Every structure is written in structure tokens, then in C-alpha cells.
């Protein structure tokens, strides 16, 4: 079986879910375990929001956001076993997690033209590596043909608790509402995704459950480390 969209033999495991559901931690662990590249697609939307805000543009001004995206150089690459991202040569680093970016990122990510450009960049990763990609629409839109799809969820209370432990201001309910109700590629569990509620689970348990499902669906174990 050749599950990807590119005609090569690289595989993609899609990990979708709402903010602070634990998808980043488990995507990181899973990619390390399998020797796959971990790509966090949310970083791309965050980098655009960061650049937009830095330029004094309102995140809600869709036309200005589209224009801005056409003017900047967003480079998504790989260094060693890590995915990298720069905007006009700058790595925004921890600024991508600031409360300002948290507040603006859902607005920029609901613009269809923005999604077209960033989804194309996300798909390019599969040309060069086996990947674990996390986001909101990876199983539903970016790689709908992959047989390996997971939707990682947790109650709003648990997710808010996780964020506050990180010391980050993040209005999860507001982001959930925009991410889930936008017209283009809303946050949704693909019909064929395995849904895992992590509210009462440890990271190890989530990882074990994903690996179990992968093996059941015929995933080749040869690459596992």
C-alpha cells in the first residue's frame, strides 16, 4: 500500500486535536520512537501571526494578512532530525508561544488563502521524510489518504490546567470556538481517525495506545527505535 499523496514510499502519521490536548508531547515522543520527522503545522500559522503582529497589522484584517504573507519569506526545512522554520531569515523561537500570538493565531488561520499556502508547505515535508505531523486538519485535509490518523482530545478543564502549569496565557475556549467553527478546514476528527481522550491518561499510556493502533493497522515496525 502506498498511503501518501506524493507517489514515494514515505509515510505520514496525522495527529490532530484542540489546543493543549497533549498532541505536541505525544507527537514528539512518537516521532522519536519511530525515527520519523516531527512537524508541528501549528508553528507555521503561529509564525505568520507573529510576523503579522510585528508589522503592526491586525490579525483580523484578512486582506492585509494575505498581502503580508506574499511579502515575507517563510522557509520550512529540516536540520538534523528537526523541522525548522524561519521568517525572512529569523527563527522566532519562543515568541511563537507568546500570549499575543495565542490571541491572534486563530484569526490568521481561518483565511482560506493562508491555508492554501501553508498546506502546500506542509505537504512538501512528505517528499523528503517519514513524518508525524500534528495540527487541526492533517487527517481531514492535508493528508486525507493516510491510513494513520489520530485525534487527541481532553476536557477543557484539563487542557486549561495544562496551559496554566506552563505559565502561558491562552484563551482556549475562544481558540476552540474559532478553530472549530471556521468555514475552511475546521478542527474536526476525520471519520477514519482514532479518537483518544487523554484527560485521565499519562503520556506513556497515550503513546502505547497509538502504537497499538498502528500495529493493528499493519504499520511496518522495522523503523522503530
Closest residue to ligand DC using C-beta atoms: 135
Q: How far is the CB of 223 from ligand DC (least distance, A)?
A: 24
Q: Are 147 and 217 contacting, i.e. CB atoms less than 8 angstroms apart? A: yes
Q: How far is the CB of 204 from ligand DC (least distance, A)?
A: 22
34 versus 107: smaller Cβ distance to ligand DC = 107
2 versus 99: smaller Cβ distance to ligand DC = 99
Q: Which residues bind ligand DC (CB under 6 A)?
A: 19, 41-42, 45-46, 105-106, 109, 135-138, 175, 179
Query: Rounded to an integer, what distance in angstroms lies between the CA atom of residue 224 and that of residue 159?
Result: 30
Query: Rounded to an integer, what distance in angstroms lies between the CA atom of residue 125 and that of residue 133?
Result: 9
Closest by CA to 105, choosing from 179, 27, 183, is: 179
Q: How far is the CB of 15 from ligand DC (least distance, A)?
A: 10
1 versus 191: smaller Cβ distance to ligand DC = 191
Q: How far is the CB of 221 from ligand DC (least distance, A)?
A: 28
Q: How far is the CB of 203 from ligand DC (least distance, A)?
A: 17
CA 15 from centroid of its chain's CA atoms: 7
42 versus 144: smaller Cβ distance to ligand DC = 42
Give the residues across from 205 on adjacent strands: none
38 versus 46: smaller Cβ distance to ligand DC = 46
Distances (CA, A) of 44 to 13, 28, 141, 161, 164: 18, 17, 16, 25, 23
Query: Rounded to an integer, what distance in angstroms lies between the CA atom of residue 114 and that of residue 121?
Result: 11
Query: Rounded to an integer, what distance in angstroms lies between the CA atom of residue 195 and that of residue 217?
Result: 15
Q: Are 185 and 141 contacting, i.e. CB atoms less than 8 angstroms apart? A: yes
Closest by CA to 128, choosing from 3, 13, 12, 16, is: 12
Q: How far is the CB of 144 from ligand DC (least distance, A)?
A: 13
10's enclosing H/E stretch is: none
From start to end of 99-157, where are the E strands? 131-135, 149-153
96 versus 129: smaller Cβ distance to ligand DC = 96
Amino acid at each position: 500500500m502506498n498511503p501518501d499523496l506524493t507517489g514515494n514510499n514515505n509515510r505520514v502519521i496525522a495527529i490532530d486535536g484542540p489546543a493543549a490536548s497533549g498532541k505536541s508531547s505525544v507527537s514528539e515522543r512518537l516521532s522519536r520512537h519511530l525515527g520519523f520527522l516531527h512537524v508541528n503545522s501549528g508553528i507555521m500559522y503561529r509564525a505568520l501571526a507573529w510576523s503579522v503582529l510585528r508589522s503592526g497589522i491586525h490579525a483580523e484584517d484578512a486582506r492585509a494578512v494575505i498581502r503580508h504573507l506574499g511579502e515575507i519569506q517563510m522557509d520550512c526545512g529540516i536540520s538534523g532530525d528537526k523541522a525548522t522554520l524561519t521568517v525572512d531569515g529569523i527563527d522566532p523561537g519562543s515568541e511563537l508561544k507568546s500570549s499575543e500570538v495565542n490571541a491572534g493565531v486563530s484569526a490568521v488561520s481561518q483565511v482560506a488563502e493562508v491555508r492554501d499556502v501553508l498546506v502546500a508547505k506542509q505537504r512538501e515535508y512528505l517528499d523528503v521524510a517519514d513524518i508525524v505531523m500534528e495540527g487541526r486538519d492533517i487527517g481531514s485535509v492535508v493528508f486525507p489518504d493516510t491510513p494513520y490518523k489520530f485525534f487527541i482530545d481532553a476536557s477543557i478543564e484539563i487542557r486549561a490546567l495544562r496551559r496554566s502549569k506552563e505559565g502561558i496565557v491562552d484563551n482556549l475556549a475562544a481558540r476552540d470556538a474559532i478553530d472549530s467553527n471556521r468555514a475552511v478546514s475546521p478542527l474536526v476528527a476525520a471519520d477514519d481517525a482514532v479518537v483518544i481522550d487523554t484527560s485521565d491518561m499519562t503520556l506513556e499510556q497515550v503513546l502505547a495506545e497509538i502504537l497499538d493502533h498502528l500495529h493493528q493497522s499493519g504499520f511496518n515496525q522495522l523503523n522503530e527505535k
